[in-house]
Structure 1
Amino acid sequence: MSVDNFKTNIYEYLETLPTFTFLRLFEKPATCLAIFRLLPSIGRQIVMSFLYVEADIPVQDVNDWVNKDGERMLPEALHKLSRLRIMDRHNNTLMMNGTFRQEFKNALTGGGTQQSFGLPCSTPDKHSVDIPFLDQYATQQWESILHYMVGTSSSKKPSRGVLNLLERSQLMQYGSDDPGTLQITNKGFQFLLQDVNTQVWAFLLQYLNMAEVLQMDLVEVLNFLFQLGSLELGENYSVETLTQTQQQMLEDLRDYGIVYQRKRGSRRYYPTRLATTLTSGSLAITGAALRNVTAGDTSKAPAAGGEQGFVILETNYRIYAYTESPLQIAVLNLFVQLQSRFRNMVAGVITRDSVKNALIKGITARQIISYLETHAHPQMRKNTPILPLTVVDQIQLWEMERCRLKTTSAYLYHEFNMQADFDAAEKYAKDIDVLLWSNPKKRTMAITQSGHDQVKGFVKRRLQTPRQ
């Protein structure tokens, strides 16, 4: 659910764009390179094979280029190339889009006159910053959003733009018990389980949707995001080559930790690691890794996928988490009753009430189990299955217990003067399949909201019919 997941999301978004939008996007070499990086491996090989071939190539010839394993992946790759307007298919031949061909060549060879890959500042920065500072800044900005989502008491409230995105993307919603406070949703908890790159792309895709609503130039927005993915970490770039829309974007991207500017209106900006890994085809470095790099210890950076392997779950529902991360502790607190905290560990227990509180927030039993499996300690991974079945089954049973009752909007019919009138109305409701419940002795029944008008009309007609 990491690299492949964010690629799938950006693919799905790009595929919705009209052809004329792609033609404008392809005018920027950096955008062509970014889209190329997002292609599956066999798709990239096809592009490179077509790059210096001006003539149409029969589809059958392309089929002959791949081995048996490639035959399975080739149709999907050709479909993506077509949907991204890189390849045009006419009958049984393929032709590469001319604009993409030329600008992608420029991206590879350094041709063209456009400063598509940013303009490094020609003068030194009086307040220069280094890579550890940028890593620390990116971590603080991004994790402040995640801390707010899980309700960490010490978390700084994000900007209004971030709050709008959290609500618009349904990662958080205003609670019924406290209408003025945003609370994490089922989708928000699933968001927390992703790697940083996937999280950032989820935000940016929603930002793109909002940009359309605000009538921002979508091509300029996309070009700038793709440009950021090709910039050099630690280098500072001039805003002179940016359009009005792109300069406006800088303020929002600062809030996410994707770029750094010393102050609003500064004539230079620095891309952070969150920016330079957007289209790299590999996982963005995680928050924990950023902290280690900031401390000057790159050897302790965890493997891609996040701070994994720190949770131990026992059959008695006791849980031990070897972590100092306030964010991970806050996530655990969503479904664990924490009892003790030590220098490098927290201990707690999974209870019916703690799981119930998580379920009320929209977090599912499957998500809780998935989180525990994803972050299971290496010692637990020696077990098959990884988690104790007794605990897994009980979490699921607690969820089923809460889902025993289902609310349905309905209309209550009662106070029938005659049993015959009630029996006739009940039979009619059954016949049209809108009866939810009935009690003939009390002449009472519940009708679905959609069936109310029909049953109401039937009862009215019957009562208006003269009695024999």
Structure 2
Amino acid sequence: MSDSLTEPGELFRTTINEYLENLPEAVHTQLYQSPETCLAIFRLLPSLAKFYIMTLLFQDSPVRSSDLSRWIKQPLSAGGNPDVISHRNPNRMYQSESIHRLKALNLLKENKKQITNPTTGRSIQVIAIHLNKSFRDSFRRAIAGTKSLEDTDVDMDSTNTPTPVLEEPHHTGGGLSNLFEDDEKITIPSLDKYCLTKWESILHFMVGSDTRETPSFDVLRLLRFSHLMELPSDRQKREDLDADYDPDFETGRVSYDSLKKMLITQNGFQFLLQPINSQIWAFLLQYLKISETRHMNPVEVLNFIFMLGSLELGEGYPISTLSQTQILMLKDLADYGLIYDPGNKQNKERKYYPTRLATSLTSESTSFNTPAAVMNKEIDNGTSESSLIIETNFKLYCYTTSPLQIAILNLFVHLKARFQNMVTGAITRESVRSALLNGITADQIINYLQSHAHAGMVKMAEEKLAKSMEYETSIGNTAALARLKLEVLPPTVVDQIKLWQLELDRIQAFKGYLYTEFANDMEFERL
């Protein structure tokens, strides 16, 4: 078996897996007391690691570590002889990485035993492996369907989970205030509309477009803390210090009105290109870091986040089952669109409702679309999201109806006209320089244009590449054949965007020191 351990769309290196692996063993032990958390962690593991867990789950006695290798298929040698084993076994490397991740999470425990060989009578050391007892007991309860999972039927392996289909939140009059009048009005379509409107407001604020609802102060503070956005003063201090500048977000000296003036950063633009699931996890990882500074129990925070992935969409759950830390989290998660909290009843009767963004947190489905794609997706005919056409004269045509997509384009394109289902503009030196000065790189712009290119442009590029490969093969020019690559965008546009970035890189500033008033030449030479 072969599987990748790299999560798709994962450009922020601090992933949830790495965060969990860096936690101390004492925290792992507390986390594994929750069946919901065990189920969520199981979903985040690679396939082979899952297989090992299911194999050891009902093994009351330890097994030899060598037995784990019996399920690894040995590849044939280059000559195809089954009796000769290849020295480089990718399956063995995958097994090693899977076991390393299980040990980093303290899921696998090793015991060394001294046994006597019945044939030779010599004493040998054997390494036996067993599952973490806390995890094994909780995970057994999870797959048995006990009430600890809120009576929810959960599939352990959500590989076949259908991709959530979210309708575009149409901005009708009244905003979100009259979306839910009472519990009977809370339906799955209304929750979808609510969560996307909340998340859309955050993305619209990041690209600088007008929004009816500005994100809350805590959301803006998190955007600044995570370096997705920054104040003009932050940028100036960071450039002056020639190092990463960490704003002291907890001082409270920055007002809400000041945070509204923040600008998007390079990381922020990269954030916009990620699938929704990756964006949510990037937000929650930063929230976990902030919760530590607020002296919130990290175990309760993680348990609540993982529990949301096991709840049923459209159902309300009483807050009486939550701890005080988790009750404090309700407002923050509601700001992100992960839950809907009516907040208009007594505590003992009050319920919260997880949205699709929350119930899909631990889903293995990797086909989440970008925010613009989700909001533009037509449920009836399933047509794809916006597509770009770029000409060699730098003119751009984009077929889209999404305000968010148009706002993203406005970061580096000089838009000229907008029609019912299309906008036109041009990539100019001024528009690209404006994006570059905001921290967006030329490669990010090029990658964005390529990923949203019209299907016709992709087809033409593929046909051109096929003809070039056929010609170079016919004349035997292997060197030129190796240099061929798929060029979706016009080469003149790609080269010019890179040249505009080089214009800003011709002079680089570094900190220096000036020494003056030397007594004599010898003193200067000695220095």
Specify the TM-score bucket, using the shorter chain as the normaliser.
0.7 to 0.9
Aligned partner of 1:450 in structure 2 is: none
What is the CA deviation profile of residues 9-48 of structure 1, one whole-angstrom value per residue up to 9, with x for unaligned ones?
A: 0011001111111111111111100000000011111111
Q: Aligned partners of 1:201, 1:99: CA distance in 2, in Å? A: 26
Structure 2: runs of 5+ lacking an equivalent: 1-5, 75-89, 113-126, 154-181, 237-253, 462-485
Structure 1: runs of 5+ lacking an equivalent: 120-124, 429-454, 456-468
Tell me the secondary structure at the aligned position of residue 348 of structure 1. strand
Tell me the secondary structure at the aligned position of residue 149 of structure 1. helix
Q: Aligned partners of 1:160, 1:301: CA distance in 2, in Å? A: 37
- Which of 244, 252, 257 is the aligned partner of 2:337? 257
Q: How many residues align?
A: 412
- Which of 107, 111, 122 is the aligned partner of 1:90? 111
- Which of 20, 40, 46 is the aligned partner of 2:52? 46
What is the CA deviation profile of residues 282-310 of structure 1, one whole-angstrom value per residue up to 9, with x for unaligned ones?
A: 144654565478x8x354275xxxx4x51
- Which of 363, 382, 386 is the aligned partner of 1:280? 363
Amino acid at match of 1:280: S
- Give 1:155 deviation, angstroms: 5.0
Tell me the secondary structure at the aligned position of residue 319 of structure 1. strand
Matching of residue 34 in structure 1 with residue 40 in structure 2: yes
Contact 2:62 2:130 in 1 (8 A): yes
Contact 2:414 2:425 in 1 (8 A): yes
What is the CA deviation profile of residues 89-124 of structure 1, one whole-angstrom value per residue up to 9, with x for unaligned ones?
A: 33532110011111101110124x6456689xxxxx
Distance change >3 Å, CA 18–CA 242, structure 1 → 2: same
Tell me the secondary structure at the aligned position of residue 411 of structure 1. coil
Aligned partner of 2:456 in structure 1 is: 379
Distance change >3 Å, CA 117–CA 209, structure 1 → 2: farther
Q: Aligned partners of 2:412, 2:311: CA distance in 1, in Å? A: 40
Q: Aligned partners of 2:488, 2:145: CA distance in 1, in Å? A: 51
What is the CA deviation profile of residues 260-302 of structure 1, one whole-angstrom value per residue up to 9, with x for unaligned ones?
A: 1223666011111100100011144654565478x8x354275
Q: Which stretch shows the higher mean deviation, 360-369 or 278-287? A: 278-287
Q: Aligned partners of 1:101, 1:249: CA distance in 2, in Å? A: 28
- Give 1:240 deviation, angstroms: 1.3
- Which of 221, 238, 257 is the aligned partner of 1:164? 221
Tell me the secondary structure at the aligned position of residue 144 of structure 1. helix
Amino acid at match of 2:98: A
Aligned partner of 1:437 in structure 2 is: none
Aligned partner of 1:395 in structure 2 is: 497
- Which of 363, 367, 371 is the aligned partner of 2:444? 367
- Which of 72, 94, 115 is the aligned partner of 2:93? 72
- Give 1:390 deviation, angstroms: 1.1
Amino acid at match of 1:88: K
Q: Aligned partners of 1:79, 1:157: CA distance in 2, in Å? A: 44
Contact 2:227 2:268 in 1 (8 A): yes
Aligned partner of 1:219 in structure 2 is: 299
Contact 1:42 1:70 in 2 (8 A): no
Aligned partner of 1:132 in structure 2 is: 189
Tell me the secondary structure at the aligned position of residue 67 of structure 2. helix
- Give 1:7 deviation, angstroms: 10
Q: Aligned partners of 2:24, 2:263: CA distance in 1, in Å? A: 36
Tell me the secondary structure at the aligned position of residue 216 of structure 1. coil
Distance change >3 Å, CA 264–CA 380, structure 1 → 2: farther
- Which of 404, 412, 421 is the aligned partner of 1:327? 404
Q: Please show how residues 89-128 of structure 1 align to structure 2 within 5 Å.
A: 89-91=110-112, 92-111=127-146, 114=148, 126-128=183-185
TM-score (norm 2): 0.73
Q: Aligned partners of 1:231, 1:289: CA distance in 2, in Å? A: 26
- Give 1:59 deviation, angstroms: 1.7
Amino acid at match of 2:490: P
- Which of 229, 254, 275 is the aligned partner of 2:309? 229
RMSD: 2.5
Aligned partner of 1:21 in structure 2 is: 27
Distance change >3 Å, CA 397–CA 145, structure 1 → 2: same
Contact 2:392 2:492 in 1 (8 A): yes
What is the CA deviation profile of residues 46-96 of structure 1, one whole-angstrom value per residue up to 9, with x for unaligned ones?
A: 111111111111121101112135323100000111111111133532110
Tell me the secondary structure at the aligned position of residue 347 of structure 1. strand
Q: Aligned partners of 1:25, 1:271: CA distance in 2, in Å? A: 21
Q: Please show how residues 245-324 of structure 1 align to structure 2 within 5 Å.
A: 245-263=325-343, 267-283=350-366, 284=368, 287=371, 291=375, 297=379, 299-300=381-382, 302=384, 307=385, 310-324=387-401
Aligned partner of 2:200 in structure 1 is: 143
TM-score (norm 1): 0.82
